[in-house]
Amino acid sequence: MHRSALLELLERYLARYPEDLVCVDHVRQFVRQHEDCFERSCVEGHITGSAWVTSRDGSRVVLVHHGKLDRWLQPGGHADGDREIHEVALREAREETGLTRLELASTEPVDIDVHPIPARGDEPAHLHHDLRYLVYADPAEAPRVSDESHDVRWFGQEEAFAISGESNLRRLARRCVHPGEAGHDGISADR
């Protein structure tokens, strides 16, 4: 996906979720201004992909206890030059959960979120422009902890929201059950 393809994807997303105009405008401006938006070396921020890994009925979800951020989050990560962000989300879901029987619901994101990442070591504070995808998994398969996480496990939806404390995860889960539902600006301060 070149930047033009990403911009087209953002237009399709905006047609489905017009209430996300502020967030999508932010991401569009970022992509237009940064040829290296898919690279972690883009100091201001970068495009990332994450996955809402859930049972097909939506009752169970996999969260990882992120090693660097020390929080329960959905799996996801840097594109590192990969311009197929849905593939990034699927790859990160596999790597961070150890689950092998994953199915991407669509190549179109169900949510977009822009959130700050705090400075850490030599890495300055920056923004993640996160495209989020619905991924189905078999709840009979046990997840395995990766080198990037402290823990990974299946949760019931409400338990996941309670342990995470991330308000944007509720929105993400709602979007996976009720596509096209209104109700967010996509700019998060809680990451």
Structure tokens at 114: 């822009």
- Percent of the chain at pLDDT > 70 equals 92
pTM (predicted TM-score): 0.89
Please say if the pLDDT value at position 184 is more than 80: no
Number of domains in the chain: 1
Query: Considering the domain boundaries, does residue 64 fall inside one?
Result: yes
Once rounded to an integer, what is the mean pLDDT over residues 68-97? 94
Query: Considering the domain boundaries, does residue 39 fall inside one?
Result: yes
The pLDDT of residue 26: 97
- The CATH number given to whatever domain includes residue 52 is 3.90.79.10
Query: Considering the domain boundaries, does residue 82 fall inside one?
Result: yes
Kindly tell me the burial class for residue 87, based on how many C-beta atoms sit within 10 Å of its own C-beta (0-12, 13-18, 19 or more).
middle
Query: Considering the domain boundaries, does residue 44 fall inside one?
Result: yes
pLDDT in tens, 15-64: 999 999 999 999 999 999 999 999 999 999 999 999 999 999 999 999 99
Query: Considering the domain boundaries, does residue 7 fall inside one?
Result: yes
Residue 158 or 184, more confident: 158
Q: Give the pairing type, strands 126-137 and 111-117.
A: antiparallel
Once rounded to an integer, what is the mean pLDDT over residues 72-96? 95
The pLDDT of residue 180: 46
Residue range(s) defining the domain that contains residue 157: 3-177
Once rounded to an integer, what is the mean pLDDT over residues 111-125? 91
Distance spanning both ends of the chain, measured CA to CA = 27
Residue 178: pLDDT band with limits 50, 70, 90 = low
Query: Considering the domain boundaries, does residue 184 fall inside one?
Result: no
Query: Considering the domain boundaries, does residue 96 fall inside one?
Result: yes
Query: Considering the domain boundaries, does residue 191 fall inside one?
Result: no
